[in-house]
Amino acid sequence: MSISLSRYLVEQQRAKGHIPPELRLLLEVVARACKSISQAVNKGALGGVLGSAGSENVQGEVQKKLDIIANEVLIEANEWGGHLAAMASEEMDGIYLVPNRYPQGEYLLLFDPLDGSSNIDVNVSIGTIFSVLKKPEGSEGVSEKDFLQPGRHQVAAGYCVYGPQTTLVLTVGDGVVMFTLDREQGSFVLTQESVQIPADTKEFAINMSNMRHWDAPVKRYIDECLQGKEGPRGKDFNMRWIASMVADVHRILSRGGIFMYPWDKREPNKPGKLRLMYEANPMGWLVEQAGGAATNGRQAILDVQPSQLHERVSVILGSKNEVERVTKYHLEQTK
Ligand code: AHG
Ligand code: MN
Ligand code: MN
């Protein structure tokens, strides 16, 4: 018997008591939005959704049409249900308050509406990443400050990858589950439970073109991997880099591996390229829930106290023993 996302969420609410009804509704709505985005992604050139929108986001990146479409789909789907107080997105400078005409809920939703934008026009996997927080108790109204909570406080997190299949991957703190979109039924069906990342791996993911800009600990780790059987690791490593974090993390959740987008000397004042609150935190929690680890080289990503909505962070995540090794190399450097 197949289990739909709706049924899984009802069970999480009723039997396990993990999620209140409002959070269940929120996750249903996010999944529905991902279904619409998947539809648009699938149409591609036929739907006129490819190419640049001719605008820039707050991070100075050129926005693609699909970045903006996905952002709008997520906002329109989520603003009226009464479960949210506000939203934040890679594609919006400030927070988006639920309009006055709708009831206000207690949850905060953050998203990267379309991750892997450079892959949109070349028919390579892309995705949507989301993170859910609760508005701090006792705060009147809602402000950006309410969002600045460490990743440990997330109450739900996940992503939807638009690849050969559309797969929604979710955690509400009870392990990681995967649902595949059944297009004929129009519903997400549970296809993998208790996802576990093997502790060891022979596969790394990093953008090697930045090698000359890396810090010594990252250089050391990759150099040792590249030496293969003859080197200190005593085994050959393979490399993958999709340039969509969702697709790289999906592979790691499926068969292990390590993913790194570390700080580098190109922009020394920025802690990294990826964004803490709607990229690193949700992915970090998924990876931890699957038995892996996620750090910024010094501490668990989930323990980083954010000070800005669009804050960046250095990211090292995946198979536990490898992440611990890279983190150890970083900590040794600062001794
Ligand atoms: P986004 O498309 O949301 O801006 O994120 C892209 C990110 C991430 O998905 C990916 O791992 C990384 O940027 C790729 O960066 P490079 O092009 O520097 O390899
Ligand atoms: Mn992204
Ligand atoms: Mn994006």
Q: Does domain 5-192 have CATH number 3.30.540.10?
A: yes
**Exposure b/e, 261-286, CB count within 10 A at least 16 = b:** bbbbeeeeeebbbbbbbbbbbbbbbb
Mutate to test the pocket of ligand 1, among 89, 115, 209, 242 (most ligand atoms within 8 A of CB): 115
Range 233-236 contact pairs with CB under 8 angstroms and sequence separation of 24 or more: 235/202, 236/202
Residues with beta carbon < 5 A to ion ligand 2? 112, 115
Contact of 150 with 301, CB cutoff 8 Å: no
Closest CA to 56 of 9, 91, 24, 16: 91
Pocket of ligand 1, beta carbon within 6 A: 61, 90, 112, 115-118, 207, 243-245, 261
Q: Tell me how far the alpha carbon of residue 263 lies from the centroid of ligand 3, in angstroms.
A: 19
Sign of the CA dihedral with 316 first, then 321, 322, and 328 last: positive
Which numbered atom of ligand 1 lies nearest the CA of 242? Answer: 11
According to DSSP, residue 124 is labeled -
Select from 33, 2, 37, 24 the least CA-distant residue to 189. Answer: 2
Contacts of range 140-143, beta carbons closer than 8 Å, 24 or more positions apart: 142/85, 142/86, 142/95, 142/97, 142/104, 142/108, 143/95
The alpha carbon of 284 and the centre of ligand 3 are apart by a number of angstroms equal to 17
Predicted pLDDT at 138:
84
Q: Residue 335: its pLDDT value, please?
A: 61
Cα(117) to centroid of ligand 3, in Å? 6
Task: Report the separation in Å between the CA atom of 34 and the middle of ligand 3, taken as the mean of its atom positions.
Answer: 14
- Which atom of ligand 1 lies closest to the CA of 117? 2
Predicted confidence at residue 58, as pLDDT, reads 87
CA–CA gap between residue 287 and residue 4 (Å, rounded)? 23
Q: What is the pLDDT of residue 16?
A: 78
**The pLDDT of residue 192:** 98
Which CATH number, 3.40.50.970, 3.40.50.300, 3.30.420.40, 3.40.190.80, labels domain 203-334? 3.40.190.80
d(CA 131, CA 246) in angstroms, rounded, equals 14
Amino acid at residue number 61 = E
Q: What atom of ligand 1 comes closest to residue 210's alpha carbon? A: 18
Give Cα separations from 327 to 3, 13, 257, 294, 317 (angstroms).
39, 37, 15, 9, 10
Ligand 1: which residue has its CA nearest to atom 3? Answer: 115
CA of 64 to the centre of ligand 1 (A): 13
Q: Which of 69, 261, 266, 313 to mutate to test the pocket of ligand 1 (most atoms within 8 A of CB)?
A: 261
The pLDDT assigned to 61 comes to 87
Euclidean distance between CA atoms 315 and 259, whole angstroms:
8
pLDDT at 68: 96
Under a CB-based contact definition with an 8 Å cutoff, are residues 35 and 79 in contact? no
CB atoms within 10 A of CB 65: 20
Domain ranges of the chain: 5-192, 203-334
What is the 221 CA–ligand 1 centroid distance (Å)? 21
Residue nearest (by alpha carbon) to ligand 1 atom 12: 243
DSSP secondary structure, 100-155, as one string = TTS---SEEEEEEEEE-GGGGGGT--EEEEEEEEEPPTT--S--HHHH---GGG-S
Do 29 and 81 touch, CB atoms closer than 8 A? yes
Q: What is the pLDDT of residue 264?
A: 96
* C-alpha to C-alpha distance for 254 and 146, rounded to whole angstroms: 34
pLDDT along the chain (335 residues), means of 10: 95 89 97 98 94 90 94 98 97 96 96 97 98 92 96 98 98 97 96 98 98 97 98 98 98 98 95 97 99 98 98 98 98 82
Residues facing 318 on adjacent strands: 258, 293
Q: How far is the CA of 144 from the centre of ligand 3 (A)?
A: 20
Q: Which of 245, 248, 312 to mutate to test the pocket of ligand 1 (most atoms within 8 A of CB)?
A: 245
